Amino acid sequence: MVKKDHAQVVISNSDQKLVLSLLEHDQLARAKKHFIPRRHLKGPELLVLWALRIYLLFMMAVVGYQVWIAVR
């Protein structure tokens, strides 16, 4: 049995069949309400992520400094 969208858009039987035959199950908009299981990050991965985060913040400060110098 196929239920129409809760927004009450009328979906014909032929469209319902079309959707079910052509789209993969996880392509359906409502299937995306499922969360993908969380992965717990390990030591080396966290190290890389933090290192890059610090790198980015530091470099943004450098860019800000350069703009400040240019504006002055």
Partner 1 sequence: MSVGSQSPQMTRTANGDEVVIITHEDVDRAHDRVRVSAARAQHGFLSRARLLWLLVGPGVLVMLGENDGPSMLSYAATGAKFGIGFFIPFVALTFCMAIVVQEMTVRLGAATHRGHAELIFDRFGPFWGWFSMIDLAIGNFLTLITEFIAIRAGLGFFGVRPWVAILIALVILYSALMSHRYWTWERITLAAAAFNLVFIPVALMTHPDWHSVGHALLTWQPLPGFNKDTLLIVLADIGATVTPWMLFFQQSATVDKGMTTKDIRFGRFDTVLGAALATAAAVATILATAPLLAHGMTADNFQAAEFAQALQPLVGRFGASLFALGMVEAGIVAAITISTSSAYAFGEVTHKPHSLNLPMGEGKSFYGVLSLCAVAAAAIVLIPGLPLVYVVLIVNVVAVLAMPPALVFLFMLVNDKEVMGDLVNPLWANILSSGVVFLLTGAGVLFGISIIAPSIFAALGGK
Q: Would you tell me which residues interact with partner 1 (CB under 8 A)? A: 1-7, 9, 11, 15-16, 18-20, 22-39, 41, 45, 48-49, 52-53, 55-56, 58-60, 62-63, 65-67, 70-71
CB 2 within 8 A of CB 20: yes
Provide the minimum distance between the beta carbon of 20 and partner 1 in the complex, in angstroms, as a whole number: 7
C-alpha radius of gyration, the chain, whole number? 24
Residue 6 beta carbon to partner 1: minimum distance, rounded to whole angstroms? 7
Q: What distance, in Å, lies between the first and last C-alpha atoms of the chain?
A: 69
- CB 43, min distance to partner 1, A: 14
Gap between the Cα atoms of 45 and 10, Å rounded = 48
